[in-house]
Structure 1
Amino acid sequence: MEAKKKLLDMVRDKIRFKHYSYSTEKTYVHWIKHYIFFHNKKHPVDMGKREIEEYLTSLAVKSKVAPTTQNQAFSAILFLYKEVLSVDMSEWNVQALRAQERKHVPVVLTKEEVHKVIENLKGIYNLVTMLMYGCGLRMSEVLSLRVKDIDLGFEKVYIWDSKSLRDRALPLPIKLKKRIEVQIEAVCELHKKDIENGYGSVYLPFALDKKSPKVKYETKWQYLFPMNNVSKDPRTQIARRHHIHPKTLGRNIKVASQKANLNKRVTSHIFRHSYATHLLQAGIDLRSIQELLGHKSVETTMIYTHVVSEMNKAKVISPLDF
C-alpha cells in the first residue's frame, strides 16, 4: 500500500505541476510551514478563516513585516487551500489587519551614474548589466535569457512568459550587438565541452523535457549567461549548467556602485527604473514604455511620471536666488 504523501510534498508537487519557479516553491513552502507552526502544528484542514486572519494580523502587528511580505504569505496560504486542499474560500472573506503600505517613488540613476557603475563592472557582469539597462529588463528576465531569445538579424530580444505573463520583443541595443554575438559563440564552445564531458543538458520550462527529451541538449536552449561551473539541479539532482546566480550579480553591482562613489542604494532593479525614466525624459510616450516594460496596467508605469515630475521640481529656482 502506497504511503500517504506529506502535506509539504503535496505542495511541492502542485507547484511543479503548475510550472512555478523554484524560488516561488521555496517561498510558498516557507510560509505554509510558518503558518502551521504558528498554530502549533495544527493541520490546515482543521483550520480556516479565523486562523488565517490571526496569522496575517500577527505578521503585521507583532512581526511588523512589509506589506509585500504579508501579501507573499497570504498568497502561499491561498495556494495551499485552493490548489492543494481544494477548499472553496469564496465565502470566507478573510479580513486581517494589513501591514501599512507606503508608496515609494523609485530611485533612479542619471545617465552619467549608470555609466559610472557599468564602467566598474568587469567581464560578463558588465554585459549583463548593460543589457538590463539597455532593454529595461528585470534581473530574472536577463538571467533567464536563452541563446534562442536573441535575434541578431532583426536586432531583437525576446522575453517569454515574464512576470506579467505577456511575451514581448524588445530592440537589441546596437552598441551591444557585437558583444552579444561574441557571447553566443562563447556559449556554443562551452556547450560543446559540456557535451564531451558528459553533461550539456539544461533546465527546460513546462513539460518540454518530457515531450522532446533531446531538446535539453540543443545549443539554442542554453542560457545566454551561464555559470562557470556545472552544478546539481536542486529539484532533480541532475548535474547541469545553470545561469549566473542572482546573488552573484547583485554582489558585483553593489561593489561597482561603491567603487563609483554613489550615495544611492544601487540594486539590479534600479537599471530598469532608470531605463523607463530616461525614455520618458526623451519624449517616449507612456503607453510605449508600458509595453516595453511588460506592465499589465499603465498605472504601474505612471509612477515614472512622478519621478520626472520630482526631477523638474528640482529645477525650480528658490525665491532667494531671484
Structure 2
Amino acid sequence: MTINICSSEANSISIRFDGGFTQDMLNAVRSVPDRVYNPLCKIWLIPNNQKSLDTFLENIYRTGDFNIEGTRAKEQIFPQKNLLEKKVPERKNELRLSNRESDSQELQKLKEILVTKHYSQRTIENYLYWAKTFLRVQKNTASSTQEQINAFLTNLAVKQNLSAPTQNQALAALLFFFKFVRHEDPENFKNIIHAKNKRRVPCVLSREEVRSVFSRLEGSRRLAVELLYGTGMRLNELLTLRILDMDFDRKEITIRCGKGGKDRRVMLPESLVSKLKEHIADVKLLHEKDLAEGWGKVLLPPSISKRSPESAKEFRWQWLFPQKNRWKNEKTGEEGRHHIDESILQKAVKKAVQDAGITKNASCHTFRHSFATHLLENGYDIRTVQELLGHSDVRTTMIYTHVLNKGAKEVVSPLDGIMGD
C-alpha cells in the first residue's frame, strides 16, 4: 500500500491512500486539526503548513506500518531525534512523498522557455496547463516516457472524449516540455499517438441571416459583431484592438500579435467609419473620467511597458472595447480597465441567432467564415482572402471553396428530373 502526499490548491496538502488503509492510518490523518475529507476525489486535505504535516507524519511513523529507507530522507521528514532512534519495522508497505517541488521548478522553467521563444500568452497558458495536468496524473512507474504520454492521450480521448485538435494540442505541449525542459531524445517519441483531425465544412451564414443577426444586437455589441464580419477578424483579435490600431485615413485596421504572433492589416469598412468615430469618442470620455479619478492606466505590451511605462495612461493605448467596470487590485488598491470579456459577445451572438430563428450552429467565429466565403463569391482572389485572414498556408483558405455556390447547390438532383416528368 502507498500514501501519496502532494501539495494541492487552496493552501492545502492532499493525502491519498492507495491499496487500502488501516484504522491506525485513518486515525493518523484524523489527528490533524482542520483536516477535511473530499469524497469526490477520495482524498484528505490538511492545511499546508509544517505543523500539520509533522503531526500527520509522526502519527504515521508511530503506526509502524512503513519502512522509510535512507537516513537523509528520515532526517527531512522526522527531524526529532527520538523518532530517528526508534527502530522502524521492516514492512512491504512504502511511504511515497511527492510535494511536487521539482514539478513546480520544471513548470517555471517551461514558462521561461516559452516566454524566451516569444510564444503567445494563450499558447503559454495552454502548454502550462497540459504539462501541469500530465505531471499531476502521471504514475511513478518503470514505463517509458513514450508509454506515459500515450496513456495520457488515450485517457483524454477515451475517458474524457476530447476532440482530436485538443488532443494534438496536449501532445504538442508535452513534446515541447520533454524536448526543452527534460531534454529527452526525439528518437524516444517515434511511436507517439497522433489524433487524426477530421475535416469539417465551416458553418456559413447567408447575407440575409447576417443582417438578421445584426438587427437583434445593439450598441457596442452590434459594432463589435459588425467588425467581425466586416474584417474577418478572430474574436480575440477584435477584443485586443487598441485606439491606435484604427487608421481612418488609410481605411485600415492593424491587427497585432494575431495567431502565430503575426501582425497584419485588414480593411476598415466604410459603412462603420461614423459608428467607430462615435464609439471612440465615448471611449475617450470614459478614459478622461478614469484619469480625473486618479486611474486610467491600461495593460501595455511588455516591451512598451519597460521602455515607456507612462504610456499606460495615453488614450491611444486604450482598448477599443473597454470593460464597463474597472478592475481593482484588493492588495494595492490600484484600479484599471481591461477589454470586455469574450463571453459577453459570445452570449450576445448566441441569443441574437436564436431570436432570428436561425438553426445553424453559428457563433462569433461563424462571421469570419462568412466573411471569407462571401469575398470568394464576389470574385476576389483566394490569395487576397488568405492574406486578410492571416493564414500561413493557402490550403487552409481553400476550405471555403467547398461552401461556394458553385458546388452541390448548382447541381440538379436526379430526383427532381424524375418528379418533373
Pairwise same-fold verdict (TM > 0.5): yes
CA distance in 2: counterparts of 1:53 and 1:132, whole angstroms = 39
Match of 1:313 among 408, 411, 415: 408
Measured after TM superposition, the shift of residue 262 of structure 1 is: 0.4
Measured after TM superposition, the shift of residue 123 of structure 1 is: 1.1
* Superposition CA RMSD, Å: 2.6
Aligned residue number for residue 327 of structure 2: 231
Match of 1:104 among 196, 200, 205: 200
Instruction: Work out which of the two has the higher radius of gyration on C-alpha atoms and give 1 or 2.
Output: 2
CA distance in 2: counterparts of 1:232 and 1:75, whole angstroms = 36
Match of 1:183 among 263, 279, 283: 279
Match of 1:34 among 133, 140, 143: 133
Match of 2:174 among 71, 77, 89: 77
CA contact (8 A) 2:179 2:186 kept: no
Measured after TM superposition, the shift of residue 23 of structure 1 is: 3.9
CA distance in 2: counterparts of 1:78 and 1:230, whole angstroms = 39
CA contact (8 A) 1:146 1:223 kept: yes
Measured after TM superposition, the shift of residue 10 of structure 1 is: 4.0
Instruction: Say if 1:89 and 1:248 are closer, same or farther in 2 by CA, change over 3 A.
Output: farther
Instruction: Say if 1:16 and 1:312 are closer, same or farther in 2 by CA, change over 3 A.
Output: same
Aligned residue number for residue 387 of structure 2: 291
- Secondary structure, aligned partner of 2:197: coil
Instruction: Say if 1:88 and 1:164 are closer, same or farther in 2 by CA, change over 3 A.
Output: same
- Greater RCO structure (CA 8 Å; 6+ sep): 1
| Number of aligned residues | 314
Aligned residue number for residue 56 of structure 1: 153
CA distance in 2: counterparts of 1:238 and 1:284, whole angstroms = 49
Summarize the alignment of residues 165-184 of structure 1 with structure 2, pairs less than 5 Å apart.
165-184=261-280
Q: In the alignment, does 2:245 pair up with 1:146?
A: no
Instruction: Say if 1:29 and 1:164 are closer, same or farther in 2 by CA, change over 3 A.
Output: closer
Measured after TM superposition, the shift of residue 93 of structure 1 is: 2.9
CA distance in 1: counterparts of 2:329 and 2:239, whole angstroms = 16
CA distance in 2: counterparts of 1:255 and 1:119, whole angstroms = 12
Higher strand share: 2
CA distance in 2: counterparts of 1:19 and 1:230, whole angstroms = 29
CA distance in 2: counterparts of 1:188 and 1:321, whole angstroms = 64
Summarize the alignment of residues 225-264 of structure 1 with structure 2, pairs less than 5 Å apart.
225-232=321-328, 239-264=335-360
- Secondary structure, aligned partner of 1:92: helix
- Secondary structure, aligned partner of 2:404: helix
- Secondary structure, aligned partner of 2:254: strand
Structure 2 unaligned segments of length 5 or more: list them: 1-100
Query: Which residue identity lines up with residue 167 of structure 2 in the other structure?
Result: Q
CA contact (8 A) 2:319 2:338 kept: yes
CA distance in 1: counterparts of 2:182 and 2:301, whole angstroms = 25
Aligned residue number for residue 123 of structure 1: 219
TM-score by length of 1: 0.88
Instruction: Say if 1:221 and 1:306 are closer, same or farther in 2 by CA, change over 3 A.
Output: same
- Secondary structure, aligned partner of 1:91: helix
CA distance in 1: counterparts of 2:230 and 2:182, whole angstroms = 44
Aligned residue number for residue 266 of structure 1: 362
- Secondary structure, aligned partner of 1:198: coil
CA distance in 2: counterparts of 1:255 and 1:178, whole angstroms = 26
**Range 15-24 or range 72-81, more displaced:** 15-24
Structure 1 unaligned segments of length 5 or more: list them: none
CA contact (8 A) 1:53 1:94 kept: no
- Secondary structure, aligned partner of 1:303: helix
Provide, for residues 189-222 of structure 1, a one-character-per-residue CA deviation record: whole Å limited to 9, x for no partner: 1111112222211112232211111121111111
CA contact (8 A) 1:132 1:139 kept: yes
CA contact (8 A) 2:146 2:192 kept: no
Measured after TM superposition, the shift of residue 232 of structure 1 is: 4.8
- Secondary structure, aligned partner of 1:75: helix
Measured after TM superposition, the shift of residue 92 of structure 1 is: 2.5
Aligned residue number for residue 301 of structure 1: 397
Measured after TM superposition, the shift of residue 154 of structure 1 is: 1.2
Measured after TM superposition, the shift of residue 237 of structure 1 is: 9.5
- Secondary structure, aligned partner of 2:407: helix
Instruction: Say if 1:204 and 1:192 are closer, same or farther in 2 by CA, change over 3 A.
Output: same
CA contact (8 A) 1:65 1:99 kept: no
CA distance in 2: counterparts of 1:62 and 1:127, whole angstroms = 41
Instruction: Say if 1:47 and 1:212 are closer, same or farther in 2 by CA, change over 3 A.
Output: farther
Aligned residue number for residue 63 of structure 2: none
**Range 48-57 or range 145-154, more displaced:** 48-57
Aligned residue number for residue 208 of structure 1: 304
CA distance in 1: counterparts of 2:325 and 2:135, whole angstroms = 38
CA distance in 2: counterparts of 1:139 and 1:180, whole angstroms = 17
**Range 161-170 or range 240-249, more displaced:** 161-170
CA distance in 2: counterparts of 1:285 and 1:208, whole angstroms = 37
Measured after TM superposition, the shift of residue 168 of structure 1 is: 1.6
